[in-house]
Structure 1
């Protein structure tokens, strides 16, 4: 079985996103995964999460005895310059965002990625469209969800959730790509709705909204996140329409759907084909649609949950491992 190494990019216990989900699934499928955790560790060492998933905290994955082929899994473009440090048999670049606006600093590394990556995985259609004309081994694998984690009804209600009104909730990075001006209008027009925001501040110094019916509850652990989502009446994806967000395939969409809740967002390209989603770009129409959703009977919960179940991370990881195996075999046969 191959060994997959992930250089320090995202703290394992931070917002549990695509890298942790996929690498965890790779491990569950029998691959050895050496995850170089990001952070300052007073006692550097190896922390096993399972026999085949090891957190390397303050120490190199190369100190862990492991079998080849050695696969280097990259999500940070600048890490393409670390290839020689790891002496990998295969380099996979997982492209998760457009190198524009908030991530414009990524763009200078793309020529090297095109030259040195053996395999490129893309999380959205626009990212795939860029790479497919420039590299011979490119595959579109959107984001997904841990359906078993998010679908069961929770046994309790978190005590910091506001009460007495329906909840329109947002879970994810509290970031500049959220349409804060739209939200200001919507929140002011709907004093009878509580707006709840969960997640870490990203490129922002403070939470941008100050309204009596807007609540920022901070970053919640992945373990407790479903207990919050199940108490949302509507899940929000209020993103700006930009060159960067056109490449966003929001993980929160799948998590909302797995929890069974209705979703209202702005019309990002990646959301246009999602069944039973609600999309508006005009603040007044967004506000009106939100009120209608809360007044209407929900007839499509089962369909939304079935969509989430069909898009589980295990399905995504399985497809990626097939591509890795095929590419690794091609590399071995060409030697």
Structure 2
């Protein structure tokens, strides 16, 4: 097994902090304060896609979870990323949970006092942020529920109770897929499903002939690849068995390892864990694959997921093989572009069929374009914004 370690975390789109851009906004433009459990510099996904687009219209603040600091007093790290102001609370390492919430409340209050918004729009990705933001007065409160966080490994015990409170306060709830919409619409009167969207132009670059990245160039074909976080949602046993049965296929795995021991990763000569890659690099890796994979485990953590990589893989002109994740089956089951299998035997068969599909790339791309029409992040932002502005009008 090839091993490119230690695993690195993605750093936004290009791996470098974006230069500050001066933007002017209308005097009455709301300031969008996004409270996120995901770091801006982790895998580039839904929060980054949406916040960079909303920053074209409104000032956007992205408030992350805290990081330990050597200083005795809490302080707020600030930087600019693609027009978004990223705020990172830096707290003394000995902070208790209660002290951490109190410190974050003071930091956010101080920032807003120094930079008073005309109106405040609160946007939550994590209900846990209520502990330091519930007191803020807002023109509207949005809960963008992209995952069922309570089902994830290591979820805080207070998460369910805080989500109940957030659903009581939220004016508008968005969900990252239809399964989540079904679950949350029983608990809130204003819920709208916005499944995974795609940056079509970005991933269409994978359809072009280009050189391989250096760490992929020596890997033979056929190549079957995956990119994304490798955590409790990833079926390592399935990947290991499929790789064992087909030693002539090469499996390229890109992404940081999170919440699981890297020692659990299977080791075979045809398994290549190349670590995390930045968003801008993904099309170049994807261009060198024959088939794209989504070997997710079927467990509580994947019951409600709607993987963004599904439309990204298709935009890149690659056939997809996935375990039968409910939202993927619902959205792509009739497309003929995504094959589904749960067992190692069925997964091997689906991959063999997908490799045959890959020989007619022109037909695959034409069908993918028809399927993905209207699924851009720009379209999603526009439809979300329309609902938000109606609330604040």
For residues 156 and 295 of structure 1, what CA distance do their matches in structure 2 show? 23
1:131 is matched with which residue? 184
Q: Does 1:208 align with 2:228?
A: no
Moved more, 128-137 or 211-220: 128-137
Sort the Cα spacing of 1:66 and 1:48 in 2 relative to 1 into closer, same or farther, 3 A: farther
Q: Kindly state the Cα deviation for residue 318 of structure 1 after the two structures are TM-superposed.
A: 1.0
Aligned to 1:97: 147
Distance 1:33 1:302, change over 3 A: same
**Partner in structure 1 of residue 137 of structure 2:** 87
Equivalent residue of 2:226, what SS?
A: strand
Verify: 1:164 aligned to 2:220, yes or no: yes
How is 1:1-335 mapped onto 2 (pairs within 5 angstroms)? 1-7=29-35, 9-28=37-56, 30-38=57-65, 39=67, 45-50=77-82, 52-58=83-89, 60=108, 61-62=111-112, 65-98=115-148, 99-102=150-153, 105=156, 106-152=159-205, 153=208, 155-161=210-216, 162-206=218-262, 208-272=265-329, 273-274=331-332, 275=335, 276-296=337-357, 297-298=359-360, 299-329=363-393
Do the aligned residues in 2 keep the contact of 1:167 with 1:196 (CA within 8 Å)?
A: yes
SS in 2 for 1:143: coil
More displaced stretch, 99-108 vs 189-198? 99-108
Deviates more, 1:89-98 or 1:258-267: 89-98
Contact 1:3 1:66 in 2 (8 A): no
Separation in structure 2 between the aligned mates of residue 196 and residue 148 of structure 1, nearest angstrom: 23
Q: Which stretch shifts more, 3-12 or 102-111?
A: 102-111
SS in structure 1 at match of 2:342: coil
Cα deviation digits, residues 142-181 of structure 1 (max 9, x gap): 1111112211237431010142221100111101121222
What's the Cα RMSD here? 2.2
Normalising by the residue count of structure 2, what TM-score does the alignment of the two structures yield? 0.77
Stretches of structure 1 that go unaligned for 5 or more consecutive residues are: 330-335
The structure-2 alpha-carbon separation of the partners of 1:57 and 1:182, relative to structure 1 and needing over 3 Å to count, comes to closer
Report which stretch shifted further, 184-193 or 102-111.
102-111
Q: Which residue of 2 aligns with 1:332?
A: none
* Count of matched residue positions in the alignment of Structure 1 and Structure 2: 327
Runs of 5+ unmatched residues, structure 2: 1-28, 90-106
Structure 1: 4+ residue segments shifted above 6 A: none
1:73-121: per-residue Cα shift (whole Å, max 9, x none)? 1111211333335432221111111232536543232221221112111
Q: 1:311 to 1:41 in 2, by over 3 A?
A: farther
CA offset digits 1:174-194 (Å, max 9, x no partner) = 011212222122111111111
User: 1:160, 1:217 within 8 Å by CA — same for their partners in 2?
Assistant: yes
**3-state SS in 2 of match to 1:247:** coil
- What CA deviation, in whole Å up to 9, does each residue of 1:13-60 have, x standing for no partner? 2100111111111112x111112245468995542335x522234464
Given the superposition, is the C-alpha separation of residues 116 and 103 from structure 1 closer, same or farther in structure 2, using an over 3 Å criterion?
farther
CA distance in structure 2 between the partners assigned to 1:266 and 1:19 by the alignment: 25
CA contact (8 A) 1:147 1:309 kept: no
The answer on whether the counterparts of 2:315 and 2:365 sit within 8 Å (CA) in structure 1 is no
